[in-house]
Structure 1
């Protein structure tokens, strides 16, 4: 279970409240944020979307938020997010679904147990007086369940992309202050590989709901690198 996260428990948290999150300071050092298929459309309006090879060899998708490690160009000095779409992994804080053990499929609704968030007096109730989850907690459960389900669906689609050989490792190149720079460690869908797909593999993609749409959104989103360069230039000029 993640550090600082504890399972919500009526015996422990029945009379506890949680302060409302009013800024995104918790994400100020996120230079990438993982996303699921259903987020591609909105995410592409502001961020480049790339793919990552995980330690277990699976593939996930992520938005690039900064050009340097621990740099988030989309949070201002007041902790406000500066564009309209905020990745769900950022919005879910301070809640998360966490496996009850590394080998278990059972998930527990957990909360960051930081004392600056959980207290006895201020904020939103976590439980009702009868020990049942509050309306806010039920809303969070529904939101996290949606994310969890989309993560599984997305994982299957990304695995298909990997199995048919569409990924290429690529350093994303950009110009900063007249100097050529690049950031690597990512994968993108190779357009030439996509064009040369066999009919059999192309049909596999067509059968995935929104699959082809996600591919084209991803490819188009790479143009957002220039948006990051612009934001980085503004940040450095301050």
Structure 2
């Protein structure tokens, strides 16, 4: 069971984190969340799809890693992660964004801070990368984690606005991925959405300008282009056959 605590350089001065990727660390998943702030990196490696959150009903972006819920085709138990970019939600490991009440300009403010899941299987005090330096400073590893969490946090802030813009222009459409590996192995992935390339191409005038100025036009094109990576999933699947 996860146990989240505020990270600090006194309580956690000897903390180490195993950074290799393995099913035993929970990396064998068929998809994971992604955010507009990393679309540029993600689309070079993986398909980006949209799904509706079961609780809120809101759209969210996901990276497709496999053809089954517990299958990560980019995960190799011997050689590690087989891609140049690892989605931020995976690479962050046991760290996450928490919020702490702080004072700003005389008023209350909830500021993002780094939290740690102390029950995560990567966390220990003897093996892996050090989180803090000998005298309490941040290690290069923790600096990297801070960058990842910042990328996630900023992505969370603009995700709803991006989907509102897409929905207002009726750009989101359902997509079913029908994949045949061989005569005995076929997959039909439903419940996913993408950007309608046809409707996007028809945008003009103020609608197109607003989408461009918001930065969401680029996100729309990146999501469409990323679907070409479905072929890479097929190749990885065939390589395991």
Normalization by structure 2: what TM-score?
A: 0.80
CA distance in 2 between counterparts of 1:230 and 1:30 reads 18
CA distance in 1 between counterparts of 2:110 and 2:191 reads 30
2:236 paired residue among 211, 215, 231: 231
CA distance in 2 between counterparts of 1:174 and 1:166 reads 24
Q: How much has 1:11 moved relative to structure 2?
A: 5.0
Q: How much has 1:204 moved relative to structure 2?
A: 1.6
Q: How much has 1:71 moved relative to structure 2?
A: 0.7
| CA distances 1:138-185 after superposition (whole Å, capped 9, x unpaired) | 443343123211331233222211222111112112222146642011
Match of 1:186 in 2: 192
1:171 paired residue among 172, 176, 182: 176
| CA distances 1:10-64 after superposition (whole Å, capped 9, x unpaired) | 45324x3213412343343221122222322332222111112223233221111
Structure 1 unaligned runs (5+)?
none
* Larger strand proportion of the pair: 2
1:133 to 1:66, Cα distance in 2 relative to 1, 3 A = same
Q: For 1:13, what is the secondary structure of its paired residue? A: coil
Is the 8 Å Cα contact of residues 46 and 229 (structure 2) preserved in structure 1?
Answer: yes
Match of 2:44 in 1: 45
Match of 1:82 in 2: 82
Q: How much has 1:107 moved relative to structure 2?
A: 3.2
Q: Does 1:21 align with 2:26?
A: no
Q: Does 1:158 align with 2:186?
A: no
Structure 2 unaligned runs (5+)?
102-108
CA distance in 2 between counterparts of 1:226 and 1:46 reads 11
CA distance in 2 between counterparts of 1:119 and 1:19 reads 6
RMSD: 2.9
Aligned residues: 231
